[in-house]
Amino acid sequence: MVRKTLIAGLPADDACSGFDDRNADFRGDPIIKVTVRMPTLHALLLVNRARAAGVSQGAYMAGLIEGVPPPPRPGDHARALTALIASTDQLAAIGTDLSTFLRLLPYGRSPTVDSYRAKLAGVHEDIGRHLAQASRFVSELRGARHPR
């Protein structure tokens, strides 16, 4: 009787018929709890695959519904992230040293000095672009354990 009363209180089936999910943006959408009944083996697979992808079971299922399940994380994800952070730190130090060297480079006018100055300025700009891109990548990798 309770079930029939709840079903009667739900909106008509056509309430969601106008929803166009092709351009839906799910960011910022409130999170709700959903209970799903499935065979035990499927539940175990869900737990294992969500864990392997480094996301919650809800985020994994949301990815399946959207047609883009999160891929499993590589086994060495933490080690790769640590190596990327260390490498980026070293490159930042090199960029700082290069900037200092460019300031100390003699200001005399000679074709050789001008050539070195131009080449090193280009390398310095490349390092800056790489560091900006790598820092965004590192922050995305660090946030990969959180739901979308």
Q: Are residues 88 and 102 in the same domain?
A: yes
Any domain includes 102: yes
For residues 69 and 60, the answer to whether their CB atoms sit within 8 Å is yes
Q: Alpha-carbon distance 67 to 59, whole Å?
A: 12
- Among 73, 106, 134, the domain boundary falls at 73
Q: Are residues 50 and 100 in the same domain?
A: no
Give the model's pLDDT for residue 47.
93
Give the model's pLDDT for residue 9.
66
Domain range for 90: 77-145
How would you class 61 by CB atoms within 10 Å of its CB: exposed for 0-12, middle for 13-18, buried for 19 or more? middle
For the chain, the domain total comes to 2
Give the model's pLDDT for residue 108.
65
Give the model's pLDDT for residue 17.
58
Helix ranges (DSSP H) in 105-145: 111-142
Give the model's pLDDT for residue 101.
79
Report residues of the chain scoring pLDDT below 50.
Answer: 145-148
Q: Are residues 26 and 60 in the same domain?
A: yes
Q: Are residues 50 and 91 in the same domain?
A: no
Q: Are residues 87 and 131 in the same domain?
A: yes
- Among 73, 91, 112, the domain boundary falls at 73
Q: Are residues 132 and 107 in the same domain?
A: yes
- Among 29, 51, 73, the domain boundary falls at 73
pLDDT in tens, 23-65: 666 777 788 888 889 999 999 999 998 888 888 898 889 888 8
Q: Alpha-carbon distance 87 to 92, whole Å?
A: 9
Give the model's pLDDT for residue 143.
59
Read off the tokens for 54: 């480094």
Q: Are residues 127 and 93 in the same domain?
A: yes
Report pTM. Answer: 0.43
Q: Are residues 40 and 89 in the same domain?
A: no
